[in-house]
Amino acid sequence: MKEVILREIGAQDRDWLVDKHRAIYAQTDGFDDSFGDLVADVLDDFLLRHDPKDECGWIAESEGARLGSIFCVRLDECTAQLRLFLLLPEARGKGLGRRMLRHCMRFAQKRGYSGMRLWTHQSHEAACALYKAQGWQCIETKPTRSFGQDLIVESYIYAF
């Protein structure tokens, strides 16, 4: 893989992110359009209201081609939330996901958060393995019905 940069997200990335989330999760997990709608709402809120002092979103990019995204947002005064972590299939298995996760975690730590949270789906085995390898702990597993599918949601925490 050629050089990959992590740059801050801009409004020009919004439609690409929504489209990629919608397409990839429909293909891999059978998610319906409500997932893409949720991603659009999260991005619109972030782009309008985020405080750059406490929150940031990044796009992984190589030679102008977007490869993925990751976001660190404020959950509360002490806790950051990891959101919208996406890596295109062709960019997986090369260490980029680990690099992006560590970048996001360093940002949260430098901003003074004492910990981070995230939720994901148990079916995302590679992501769950990455979180655990980086010291995240799964604190809750529960079945749910979301995005037109029966899913097992996992909640993870990380303490600095």
Q: Is the pLDDT of residue 1 over 70?
A: no
- State the burial class of residue 124 (Cβ atoms within 10 Å of its Cβ: 0-12, 13-18, 19+): middle
Task: Just give the CATH number of 5-114.
Answer: 3.40.630.30
- 3-class DSSP state of 35: helix
- What's the confidence (pLDDT) of residue 127? 95
- 3-class DSSP state of 32: coil
**pLDDT tens figures, 16-43:** 999 999 999 999 999 999 999 999 999 9
Amino acid letter, residue 5: I
Amino acid letter, residue 28: T
Yes or no: say if 114 and 78 are a contact pair by the CB < 8 Å rule: yes
